[in-house]
Amino acid sequence: MRVLIIGAGGAGNVVAKKCAMNKDTFTHIHLASRTVSKCEKIRNEIKEQFSVDIEISALDADNVSDTVTLINQVKPDLVINMALPYQDLAIMDACLETKTNYMDTANYEPIDVAKFEYHWQWAYQDKFKEAGITAILGCGFDPGQTNIYCAYAQKNLFDEIHYIDIIDCNAGDHGKAFATNFNPEINLREVTQNGRYWENGEWVETEPLEFRKMIDYPEVGEKASYLLYHEELESLCQNIKGLKRIRFWMTFGDEYIKHMEVLQNIGMTRIDPVIHNGVEIVPIQFLKTLLPEPSSLSDGYTGKTSIGCVITGIKDGVEKTVLIYNVCDHAQTHKEVGAQAVSYTTGVPPVTGAILMAKGLWGKEPGVWNVEQLDPNPFMEEVAKQGLAWHIKELPCGLGELTERRKDKKAA
């Protein structure tokens, strides 16, 4: 398979190196980014570590014609989009024009509105079908592997699934006063917007980080977790039949929340332009410049991520709850590919999906698909081989109702 990877950040680095580690499948690897120096660094590391040559290019992925030109030069079988979510539609347009298969790890988000939804990309369904090409959406970890855990449970473990709680814990320590584990602009937009969860066919909106719950994460222990809206809820509530409720939880330390709230209170997380010394700037984009590059956090990062799905449903007339999860060690992923575990867990699934496409197990039907609409079994087998081992644990019950609010969110 010939593959074009667009984006050379922390997760893009993992995708490129994992493709190089599977050189029998990926016969040609081309890495492109607006910042070509990042591509050069990754290329040199791949050549030194894996004795594989890759090609690189400078690319502004916002420019559809430039992307079309590069695709026509590279002639990839698949474009893996590891760029910013703002660029999804532009890259999909380039894939349509060149009739090239497409894959990403995060859904489209307009640059001027903190609102990430799938409808913009789902609108490409007929266009991709008519072109005879496939788009696979959200093939990271969450979204991505968490969706596939749910699809695997639906196919193999339950007759009916009623409740899903996706739980995401990073119990690592990067030693910085404040830093984000993926693109700071995307991370802060995600956390500071209102939360949402889906129950009984309706969306229920919450204030940002309004609800918290202590959750016991495998190999990590109990951590305070906060209710967020996350994009996989939108597709899973449609594709998991019989579902009554689905929610998403993520851990944040007190120091992270303190810094984030101060930044929010003084306007540094604003996404609208302001005038500074006669120059128009967007505060959150300026903040991104000041914060550590997520890919720089890898060296010396300690601790683990623990991410999974708590799923409650019926099997043979009996209610049961299972936790399907992965635990990833920051130090081990740094040793393997020079990346922290958040980048690693995002980068391994698209490589796994690409391998399945190369084998003809995924992507057989043209159109636009979320990963849970594809066969989960070969993915689960392959992703474990690629470095993300998964486990199933039976639990006495699910996570229950929303009962605990943050103290500062309680009604007077």
Predicted local confidence at residue 182, as pLDDT: 63
Return the amino acid letter for 318: V
The DSSP H or E segment spanning 3 is strand 2-6
Give the chain's end-to-end CA distance (angstroms, integer). 60
Prior bond of 292 cis (ω within 30°) = no
pTM of the predicted model over 0.85: yes
Beta-strand runs (E) in 171-273: 195-199, 202-206, 212-217, 221-228, 245-251
The DSSP H or E segment spanning 121 is helix 119-122
Beta-strand runs (E) in 300-380: 304-315, 318-329, 367-370
Three-state secondary structure string covering 272-309: CCEEECCEEECHHHHHHHHCCCHHHHCCCCECEEEEEE
Could you say which residues of the chain have pLDDT below 50?
411-412
Predicted local confidence at residue 411, as pLDDT: 44
CATH number of 145-335+392-409, picked from 2.30.140.10, 2.40.50.100, 3.30.360.10, 1.20.1250.20: 3.30.360.10
Cα–Cα distance for residue pair 251/242, rounded to 1 Å: 28
C-alpha dihedral (393, 399, 400, 403), degrees to nearest 10: 160
| CATH number listed for the domain at residues 2-140+340-386 | 3.40.50.720
Residues 6+ apart with CB under 8 A from 277: none
Each domain of the chain, given as residue ranges in start order, spans 2-140+340-386, 145-335+392-409
Strand partners, 391: 325
